[in-house]
């Protein structure tokens, strides 16, 4: 395959032996799968250059950029999953968050705002949100941090108002580009933007109350918190949107004993459980955690000093000067937000760890450690820290490099081949979400559910599909599947028996949702032995059993 005389795709016929048929294997950017993965790796490779620029700009020293990049590599297994699962939405999205945060840092530090910076911020917001709907929750933490920075007095009203306008514009454009995704407009993020915009407009009225600085901070903070929650509730009710309701339920389950089908599907997966106890230990061994704690303590010391100076003056009017280095305070608050996310949901440490690497660059900051660099050369301090980090860091890198393997899933290959050649192109399939993604992409068959879980309708369909692993009667399950026009159900026995922890097998999850049938034999166990009379087994291998739904 050539493009303007350049070969973009090379294919071979590979003989696999062991009775397996030969397959065609292709590589090069002309192959869709290779192009897809190559773009992700290039994007994440460029992100490392971005991290160097970010660390350099934030710390004011190229040594800071070096610290950021080396910390990322020394903690690579805690920073990213791109080497294991390239096609994840976060793999496309996260590099643009790094760019976005760098631009926010520049805007906070700049004495004069330039249109180019604001346009770049808008574009990076869009590219961050478009691939990944979870991005709105991350941007919510950013807006909350920036609002806190504004309330205390590190940035002025004009600067925050422009940032809010940019976020509003980018959110509106994403709404259009995502074909009217109403979940964005009814999100906490959108509600927070509106409330902050209103608070900025009301600032002159607050000042007329002749209150102390501390009282104004508390009032604005309460207005933002309760206003955001109330507006989110009202807009969701008004538009009838419940697409992100499972996120609220997931967070509720972290603090209380709340359980339902959707939250258990999440919390029973290791990546959505609390952060592992070993994670802080791994941070400590590479000295990332001690370095970040030292930086954080220095910033907190500055914040306390600034706040005390403001409160002590008991001012009841607009201060003539803003407090200095609001970008440092923003990063400290963002660190707290990412820490909360990472502790509650282990998967979200992929925001925390890279941000810790960026924060570590501030060990080179003269604003924070000028007292030390007056006695010892910065280069000496930084290289001493990096040398200590490299003891465990180099071992971590070697562990990463030693991981070599190949992907093989013969049972799924047999399933896909059977579907391609033994079913009609319009045959509708149902089953486990990961399997349905493969059926849709590789066999091009219609599916009734797939791994995109941020849609209330899709969650409802998935719940019906997963009732095959409940203790309900086969006739009842079949009736619901027929309403979805399902022709074939792909049953996986492993889903019926696997259990990541107590209470987390599929039948146990259904016991919470359907206590009336608790104690009965799971339907999947019965169908593994005999699928009749409601279903007919049309394909079976070591992993998959395809059941045809018998029409009445």
The predicted model gives 307-328 an average pLDDT of 71
Over the stretch 230-277, which tens digit does the pLDDT of each residue have?
999 999 888 887 777 777 778 888 888 888 888 888 888 888 888 999
Residue whose structure tokens are 């979940």: 183
Angle of helix 62-74 versus helix 378-401 axis, rounded to 10:
30
Contact in structure between 243 and 257 (CB atoms under 8 Å): no
Q: What is the pLDDT of residue 298?
A: 94
Distance CA 169, CA 542 (A): 52
Residue 1 — pLDDT band, cuts 50, 70, 90? low
Q: Are residues 162 and 252 in the same domain?
A: yes
Q: What is the CATH number of the domain that holds 488?
A: 3.40.50
Answer whether residue 58 is part of any domain.
no
Same domain? 453 vs 344: no
315, two tokens: 């001012």
User: Same domain, yes or no, for 234 and 116?
Assistant: yes
Based on the domain organization, do 174 and 250 belong to the same domain?
yes
pLDDT bracket for residue 468 (50, 70, 90): very high
> In the predicted model, is pLDDT for residue 324 greater than 90?
no
Residue with tokens 């074909």: 179
SS (H, E, C) 325-389: CHHHHHHHHHHHHHHHHHHHCHHHHHHHHHHHHHHHHHHHCHHHHHHHHCCCCHHHHHHHHHHHH
| Structure-token match 């250059």, residue found | 49
User: Which whole number is the average pLDDT over 516-540?
Assistant: 90
The CA-based dihedral angle spanning residues 81, 82, 84, 86, taken in that order and rounded to the nearest 10 degrees: 140
Confidence of residue 321 (pLDDT cuts 50, 70, 90): low
pLDDT score of 101: 98
Within a domain: residue 272? yes
The band of 475, judged by pLDDT with boundaries at 50, 70 and 90, is very high
d(CA 223, CA 218): 9
Same domain, yes or no: 244 and 119: yes
- Cα 196–Cα 143–Cα 151 angle in degrees, nearest 5: 60
Asked if 40 and 9 sit in the same domain, the reply is no
4 and 99 inside one domain: no
Q: What is the mean pLDDT of the chain?
A: 90
Q: Are 316 and 211 in contact (CB under 8 A)?
A: yes
pLDDT of residue 267: 84
In a domain, 522, yes or no: yes
Helical packing angle, 326-344 and 135-152, nearest 10°: 140
**Do 350 and 488 fall into the same domain?**
no
DSSP 311: H
Overall average pLDDT of the 154-176 stretch: 95
- What is the C-alpha separation between 357 and 361, in angstroms, rounded? 7
Q: What pLDDT, on a 0 to 100 scale, did the predictor assign at position 136?
A: 92
The pLDDT of 498-513, averaged and rounded, is: 87
Structure tokens at 14: 């590979």
Q: Do 21 and 128 fall into the same domain?
A: no
| 226 and 114 in a common domain | yes
Q: Please report the pLDDT score of residue 12 as a whole number.
A: 87
Report which secondary-structure segment, H or E, holds 535. Answer: strand 535-540
Q: Which residue has the tokens 């190949």?
A: 406
pLDDT at 550 over 60: yes
Residues with Cβ within 8 Å of 224's Cβ and at least 6 positions away in sequence, in order, are 144, 147, 192, 195, 196, 199
Q: Render pLDDT for 41-71 as a digit per residue (tens, 0 to 9).
A: 999 999 999 999 999 999 999 999 999 999 9
Six-digit token pair at 70? 């080396």
In a domain, 60, yes or no: no
The two three-digit tokens of residue 301, written as one number: 């010391």
The total of structural domains in the chain comes to 3
Looking at residue 204, its pLDDT comes to 82
The answer as to whether 382 is a domain residue is no
Average pLDDT over residues 472-500: 91
Tens of pLDDT, residues 409-451: 889 999 999 999 999 999 999 999 999 999 999 999 999 998 8
Residue 72 lies in a domain: no
Classify residue 75: in a domain, yes or no. no
Residues contacting residue 464 through CB under 8 Å, at least 6 positions apart: 480, 481, 483, 484
Q: What confidence tier does 479 reach under pLDDT thresholds 50, 70, 90?
A: very high
pLDDT single digits (tens) 150-162: 999 899 899 999 9
Residue 69 lies in a domain: no
The helix or strand, by DSSP H or E, that contains position 10, with its residue range, turns out to be strand 10-14
Q: Please state, in angstroms and rounded to a whole number, the distance separating the CA atoms of residues 477 and 521.
A: 14
Q: Are 347 and 451 within one domain?
A: no
Distance of CA 527 to the CA centre of its chain: 37
Residues β-bridged to residue 540: 545
Q: Please spell the DSSP secondary structure of 95-139, one letter per residue.
A: HHHHHHHHHHHHHHH-SS--HHHHHHHHHHHHHHHTT-TTHHHHH
**Residues spanned by the domain of 7:** 1-27
Q: Is the same domain home to 456 and 331?
A: no
Percent of the chain with pLDDT over 90: 59
What distance in Å separates the CA atoms of residue 272 and residue 344, rounded to the nearest whole number?
A: 8
pTM, rounded to two decimals: 0.91
Q: How far apart are CA 406 and CA 481, in angstroms?
A: 36
Q: What sign for the dihedral angle of Cα 137, 143, 147, 153?
A: positive
């Amino acid at each position: 395959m050539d493009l303007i005389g350049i070969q973009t795709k090379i294919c071979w016929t590979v003989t696999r032996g062991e009775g397996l048929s030969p397959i065609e294997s292709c590589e090069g950017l002309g192959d869709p799968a290779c192009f897809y993965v190559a773009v992700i790796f290039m994007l994440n490779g460029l992100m490392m250059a971005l991290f160097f620029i970010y660390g350099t700009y934030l710390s004011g020293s190229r040594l800071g950029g070096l610290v950021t990049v080396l910390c990322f590599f020394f903690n690579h297994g805690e920073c990213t999953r791109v080497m294991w699962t390239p096609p994840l939405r976060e793999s496309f999205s996260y590099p643009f968050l790094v760019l976005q945060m760098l631009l926010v840092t520049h805007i906070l530090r700049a004495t004069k705002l330039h249109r180019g910076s604001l346009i770049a911020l808008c574009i990076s917001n869009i590219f961050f949100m478009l691939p990944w709907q979870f991005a709105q929750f991350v941007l919510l933490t950013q807006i909350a941090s920036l609002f806190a920075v504004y309330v205390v007095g590190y940035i002025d009203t004009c600067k925050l108002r422009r940032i809010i306008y940019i976020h509003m514009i980018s959110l509106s454009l994403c709404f259009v580009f995502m074909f009217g995704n109403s979940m964005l407009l009814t999100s906490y993020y959108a509600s927070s933007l509106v409330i902050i915009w209103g608070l900025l407009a009301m600032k002159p009225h607050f000042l007329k109350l002749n209150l102390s600085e501390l009282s104004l901070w508390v009032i604005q903070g309460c207005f933002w918190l309760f206003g955001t929650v109330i507006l989110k509730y009202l807009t969701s009710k008004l538009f009838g949107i419940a697409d992100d309701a499972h996120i609220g339920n997931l967070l509720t389950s972290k603090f209380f004993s709340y359980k339902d089908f959707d939250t258990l599907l999440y919390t029973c997966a290791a990546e959505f459980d609390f952060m592992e106890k070993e994670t802080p230990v791994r941070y400590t061994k590479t000295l990332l955690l001690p370095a970040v704690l030292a930086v954080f303590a220095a910033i907190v010391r500055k914040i306390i000093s600034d706040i005390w100076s403001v409160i002590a003056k008991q001012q009841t009017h607009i201060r003539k000067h803003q407090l200095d280095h609001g970008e440092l305070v923003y990063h400290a608050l963002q660190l707290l937000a990412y820490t909360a996310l990472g502790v509650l949901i282990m998967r979200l440490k992929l925001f925390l760890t890279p941000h810790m690497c960026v924060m570590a660059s501030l060990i080179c900051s003269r604003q924070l450690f000028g007292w030390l660099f007056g006695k010892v050369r910065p280069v000496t301090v930084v290289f001493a820290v990096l040398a200590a980090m490299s003891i465990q860091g180099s071992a971590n890198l070697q562990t990463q490099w030693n991981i070599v393997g190949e992907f093989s899933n013969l049972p799924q290959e047999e399933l896909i081949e059977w579907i391609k050649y033994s079913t009609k192109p319009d045959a509708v399939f149902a089953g486990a979400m990961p399997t349905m993604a493969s059926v849709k992409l590789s066999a091009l068959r219609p599916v009734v559910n797939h791994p995109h879980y941020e849609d209330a309708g899709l969650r409802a369909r998935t719940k019906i599909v997963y009732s095959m692993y409940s203790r309900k009667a086969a006739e009842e399950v079949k009736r619901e599947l027929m309403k979805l026009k399902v022709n074939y159900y792909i049953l996986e026995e492993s889903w019926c028996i696997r259990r990541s922890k107590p209470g987390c097998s599929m039948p146990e999850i259904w016991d919470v949702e359907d206590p009336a049938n608790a104690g009965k034999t799971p339907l999947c166990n019965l169908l593994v032995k005999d699928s009749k009379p409601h279903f007919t087994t049309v394909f079976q291998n070591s992993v998959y059993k395809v059941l045809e739904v018998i029409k009445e």
